[in-house]
Structure 1
Amino acid sequence: MGIGVKSRKTLLRELVKYMVTLCVSLVVLALLYIFVNTIAMNTGFSHPANYNEREAEKLAPKLETIDEVTADMIPDTMSYAILNKETKQKTAGTIQEKDLQLVKKKIEKKPYVNYKQKGYMVIDRGNEYCVLQYSLRADFGSPLLRKYLPNYELTSICILIILLIIVISIITTYFANRLRKHFETLNVITRYIKEQNLQFTPEFTHIKEFDDVIDSLIEMRDALQSSLEAQWRLEKNKKEQIGALAHDIKIPITIIKGNAELLSLSKQNEEQADYTKYILGAGNQIEQYIYQLIHLSKTEDSLTVHFEKASVEKLTETLQKDISAYKGNKKINIVFKKEHLLKEAQIDRQLLHRALLNILTNAVDYTPEGGTVSVYAKCDSESFYFFVRDTGSGFSEIALKKATELFYMDDKSRHAKGHYGMGLTFAKNAVNLHNGELALGNTKAGGGEVRVKIPLNKE
């Protein structure tokens, strides 16, 4: 499965290619190192390890016959010492006494002595010995380089190690970046799927293992797309049915209300008048639910918001009056606390009024007799805050996640109080249209809490 033509590359093949490239590069570097060393020695830039020994052999005949050996006769790459032939004590020279101990022991047996990469040549001058000390290591031809750099061997090895590290780093980084690019391709695809942006054309990596994963992600994308389309169709169908049902219910409710109003005009005793009043009140309440249900049956995009200059202060005062009238004779306290409410801001006053009133009525309905509903309204330089707390039983763990879903009821035994799971859903949609936030929670005392934050444009 997949899109496009894919090669048969594998991760093993890429690994082998990396190892071969690395080995070839190291071999080339080693050959280059040998070649440069050869050129350096042929041009005199550096001297081989036996160079000083050969120079000492050339100098020996002259030192053997000359009347007196002085320091200016000795090259700067060597040191010398004059030893008394009988006492073997140094009478002149620049060689350290500690370096002469081994030479003194072997002076009569060996004209050449090597120790710790230093060579010693003993020249018999009749009544004294002349000892030349020289290095048995390769070294620079330039006195300046010999002075400021370590010996040539150590310097060249350090340079070789640095070049090896650089070559290994470059090759490893190159192959790592190639693999990182392939992983980034996977990350892009998974990010698209996470964001439900499913209309994308994947780019294959031409490596079998990566392309197999991409194929699996494509299958996941196609399955998710089919699932989302089915869910969308089901949701659309459900909303259409809800809207149609709500419109159908309006007809019998209108008939019931019309007949109840006719009955109210006829002569009735007190008990009959009360029943008629109950019928009209329930009919009005059902009619409000139907209008609300028709709004909720629409998609959120079709529920439009119309911003205009309005007073947040007056909006809050209206809410206070409306909720006081709503609670009627129910014995609960409604406490409003207002701070710094703006007299002018860009909001949809009607939409926001309906949303916040739904939250308030929800709190009143779930607050038992003798309880309290506390409302805190405040504006700062950027937002309008509206907090509602009650002393009811609070939201359950499931309700904290689902209370804003259509038709969800935390406690279905209380549906007689008028809760059909629509109020918080509408409030959530209205707050979203204001680019705001609605959050549910519980107070420390156990009651429910709804927190609303609305961004304000004061201009």
Structure 2
Amino acid sequence: MGIRNTLSVYFFKWILSIGFVGVCIILLNVGIVTWGLNNNVFLPANEPIKQAEKIKDIIENSDRIDPAIIPPQLDYAIFNKETNQIVHTNLSSRNMEKAQKAYINNQYGKSNSYLRYDSQNESLMIRYTLKIQFANLELRQAIPNPGVILLILTIIVFCTYLVYNIRRFSRLIIEENQKLIHVARKIKEKDLNIQFPEVTFNEYKDVMGAMENLSEALVKSIENEIESKRSKAEQISYLIHDIKIPLTVIKGNVELLEIDRNEESEETFSDIQNAIKQIESYIQEVIDINLNNKELKLNKEEITVNEFLEKVECEVKKLGVHNLIVENNSEKGTTLYIDIDLVIRALNNILLNAIERTPPHEKVQLIVRQDENSIQFNVIDGGPGFTEEALKRGTELFYTENVERTSNNHYGLGLTFTERVIKQHNGKLKLSNNANHSGDVQVKLPLRPAPH
């Protein structure tokens, strides 16, 4: 690989190739001019002056100027001294005007490339330029400056080659970039069958190597995720199995006791049976949500905040809890459109957690606030607050702050279930600690009217 395949080396070679072509074009121009001069296609820049010098003595010693003695390589005009008019010329009309002006003003002629030779009755004005010209008169008149034409052609050829190479270099870079973009897109899509294409430059090979490492890390991450889900499913299966065994025992014994029940115990037996049914319902929902990845089926109803809080307090009191303080700051008549049973269960999970974290002599607060678009339920306990880890992972399935997962009959299901219920109601769940370092769990539900 080495340094030869780097972008800087490629660019340096690219510059050298352009410079080499430029030198070749210049040498080609020199060759064309040299060939033209050697084959009498072009006249040297000083040729008109040399040819004029050959006829100078003849003209100055004659009465009149014979055009036949003037070499065909010269551009000239013959003036009559008496009339100051041109009597013979091979100049174009534009150059005839300049020659007339040069004849009248001798200083102008010197500064504008005209030679003047006088005979007794006529004057010869020879036009010259210090540049190559065509030897052929017609070509010289049609193309007075072939050097400029040659220069323009040279620039066009060089620019064409330059543009071609720039586009070629650009296509190469774009192709290299597209390879990286393709691999990056596959990684984003979590495609595990990525084919890593060959790239030309070392810099791109380094990036492609990094992407290959990233892909390997992605594969490992997905494998870990699959393993985590498999482990989660096993834990749920074990948990459900562990719960069902004592539940079956309780249910069987309750059915036996029910045979001898009397009117006084009627309500107690009814509560126990309802609780058993509720536990069975919870177990089935855990199966549906976590094993089958199904969303909860919502049965939304309209209920006022006051009615909802009454139901929440009633459910909490059934559990023998009496240290809950409810502070309702919502506007009178405010309604929610929710699945009442699910949201009550979700809020109760938070309340029960808060009650368990709170010392017996302390109170748990449920504070209800309202803003323009939502209702907020803040459950504030009297305990020591959440740990940093709990604030980050509190809603993860099976997460519990207890090292021994069954030390207080917690299995890490409550907040996971709660968060799912709240999210399905387009709400938000947030764990934090307040200024007194006590736990503060906020549930925010949107205010939406029931559909008609």
With structure 1 as the length reference, what TM-score do the two structures score?
0.59
Query: What is the aligned partner in structure 1 of residue 190 from structure 2?
Result: 196
The 8 Å contact of residues 372 and 391 in structure 1, kept in 2 or not, is answered as yes
**Cα distance in 2 for residues equivalent to 1:190 and 1:27:** 43
**C-alpha distance after superposition, 1:411-447 (max 9, x if no partner):** 999x999976433422444566x59574637699895
- Partner SS, residue 331 of structure 1: strand
**Counterpart check, 1:174 vs 2:164:** no
The 8 Å contact of residues 354 and 427 in structure 1, kept in 2 or not, is answered as no
Unaligned 5+ segments in structure 2 are 66-79, 356-361
The 8 Å contact of residues 52 and 126 in structure 2, kept in 1 or not, is answered as yes
Q: Which amino acid aligns with 2:397?
A: L
What's the offset of the Cα at 1:192? 2.1
**Do the aligned partners of residues 188 and 225 (structure 1) sit closer, same or farther apart at CA in structure 2, a change above 3 Å counting?**
same
The 8 Å contact of residues 300 and 429 in structure 1, kept in 2 or not, is answered as no
- Which of 419, 422, 439 aligns to 2:413? It is 422
- Which of 383, 388, 394 aligns to 2:376? It is 388
Query: What is the aligned partner in structure 2 of residue 322 from structure 1?
Result: 311
Q: Which amino acid aligns with 1:247?
A: H
Query: What is the aligned partner in structure 2 of residue 407 from structure 1?
Result: 398
- Which of 325, 332, 336 aligns to 1:331? It is 325
**Cα distance in 2 for residues equivalent to 1:283 and 1:386:** 37
The 8 Å contact of residues 435 and 455 in structure 1, kept in 2 or not, is answered as no
**Cα distance in 2 for residues equivalent to 1:340 and 1:152:** 93
The equivalences for 1:198-237 within 5 A come to 198-205=192-199, 210=204, 214=208, 217-218=211-212, 220-222=214-216, 224-237=218-231
**Cα distance in 1 for residues equivalent to 2:205 and 2:369:** 58
**Cα distance in 2 for residues equivalent to 1:18 and 1:220:** 33
Range 39-48 or range 129-138, more displaced = 39-48
The equivalences for 1:71-220 within 5 A come to 75=91, 76-77=94-95, 79-80=98-99, 92-93=104-105, 96=108, 119-125=113-119, 134-138=128-132, 153=147, 156-157=150-151, 160-161=154-155, 163-205=157-199, 210=204, 214=208, 217-218=211-212, 220=214
The 8 Å contact of residues 239 and 298 in structure 1, kept in 2 or not, is answered as no
The 8 Å contact of residues 301 and 450 in structure 2, kept in 1 or not, is answered as no
- Which of 279, 292, 295 aligns to 1:302? It is 292
What's the offset of the Cα at 1:178? 1.5
Range 205-214 or range 281-290, more displaced = 281-290
The 8 Å contact of residues 438 and 453 in structure 1, kept in 2 or not, is answered as no
**Do the aligned partners of residues 458 and 183 (structure 1) sit closer, same or farther apart at CA in structure 2, a change above 3 Å counting?**
farther
What's the offset of the Cα at 1:252? 1.5
- Partner SS, residue 135 of structure 1: coil
Relative contact order (C-alpha < 8 Å, sep 6+): which is higher?
Answer: 1
**Do the aligned partners of residues 362 and 37 (structure 1) sit closer, same or farther apart at CA in structure 2, a change above 3 Å counting?**
farther
Query: What is the aligned partner in structure 2 of residue 360 from structure 1?
Result: 347
**Cα distance in 2 for residues equivalent to 1:29 and 1:320:** 91
Q: Give the fraction of aligned pairs with identical amino acids, expressed as a percent.
A: 22
Aligned length: 400
**Cα distance in 2 for residues equivalent to 1:442 and 1:210:** 46
Q: CA RMSD in A?
A: 6.0
- Partner SS, residue 313 of structure 1: strand
Q: Which amino acid aligns with 1:304?
A: K
Query: What is the aligned partner in structure 2 of residue 346 from structure 1?
Result: none
Unaligned 5+ segments in structure 1 are 1-5, 83-89, 101-117, 343-348, 379-384
- Partner SS, residue 104 of structure 2: strand
What's the offset of the Cα at 1:236? 0.8
With structure 2 as the length reference, what TM-score do the two structures score?
0.60
Q: Which amino acid aligns with 1:360?
A: L
**Do the aligned partners of residues 238 and 34 (structure 1) sit closer, same or farther apart at CA in structure 2, a change above 3 Å counting?**
same
**Cα distance in 2 for residues equivalent to 1:354 and 1:43:** 107
**Cα distance in 2 for residues equivalent to 1:80 and 1:370:** 114
Range 135-144 or range 193-202, more displaced = 135-144
**Cα distance in 1 for residues equivalent to 2:449 and 2:297:** 11
**Counterpart check, 1:449 vs 2:442:** yes
Query: What is the aligned partner in structure 2 of residue 110 from structure 1?
Result: none
**Cα distance in 2 for residues equivalent to 1:284 and 1:182:** 67
**C-alpha distance after superposition, 1:80-124 (max 9, x if no partner):** 489xxxxxxx98238649x65xxxxxxxxxxxxxxxxx6453435
**Cα distance in 2 for residues equivalent to 1:192 and 1:264:** 63
The equivalences for 1:364-379 within 5 A come to 364=351, 366=354, 369=363, 371-374=365-368
**Do the aligned partners of residues 438 and 125 (structure 1) sit closer, same or farther apart at CA in structure 2, a change above 3 Å counting?**
farther
- Which of 424, 430, 433 aligns to 1:440? It is 430
What's the offset of the Cα at 1:334? 3.5
